[in-house]
Amino acid sequence: MARIPTVLVYAVQDDRVLLMHRHKEPNLGLWIAPGGKIEVDESPHDAAVREMREETGLIVDELVWRGTCTEVSPLPDWQWMLFIYVARSFHGSLQEDLREGSLAWVDVNTYLNEMAIPQADRIFAPRVLGPEPGMFEAKFVYDAQLKLVSWVEY
């Protein structure tokens, strides 16, 4: 089972975070940070910049790498490696790619406490978006129904 390398990018401005309400799997119907798969010729940083431009129309001026997570399960297509970034400096006009999902600027506290988000995001997002410097690293283990059964932070 091969890991699928991906990126997530939290664009943050004035205590609000840019989120996507997913219109397709994975995470159909949930709110997530924009992102996607890393292409063969890309670094995680390159993929984060590209995915932000493709999914939001925003051009990232500066990225801060805030975490790395693995998500594993008995399912061969649920083996993820996530590189998580925060962008506080970007420019351009917001443009949705409705094939992926609709975009909204949301208060960070609302996102962390009230919205429908993936199980692992509920754990890592507060740490990634928090004021503490440093990196977050964890492994999330799911069962065959994709329920989070355990996790360990390193």
Range of the domain at 124: 4-153
The tally of domains found in the chain comes to 1
- Which pLDDT belongs to residue 100? 84
pLDDT score at 131: 87
Distance of CA 61 to CAs 37, 92, 122, 144, Å? Answer: 20, 10, 27, 39
CATH number at residue 63: 3.90.79.10
User: Parallel, antiparallel, or unpaired for β 59-72 and 16-22?
Assistant: unpaired
CA distances from 68 to 65, 103, 120, 124, 127 (A): 9, 24, 12, 10, 12
pLDDT of residue 29: 94
Indicate the pLDDT class of residue 77, thresholds 50, 70 and 90: very high
Give the rounded distance of the alpha carbon of 85 from its chain centre.
8
Average pLDDT over residues 32-55: 97
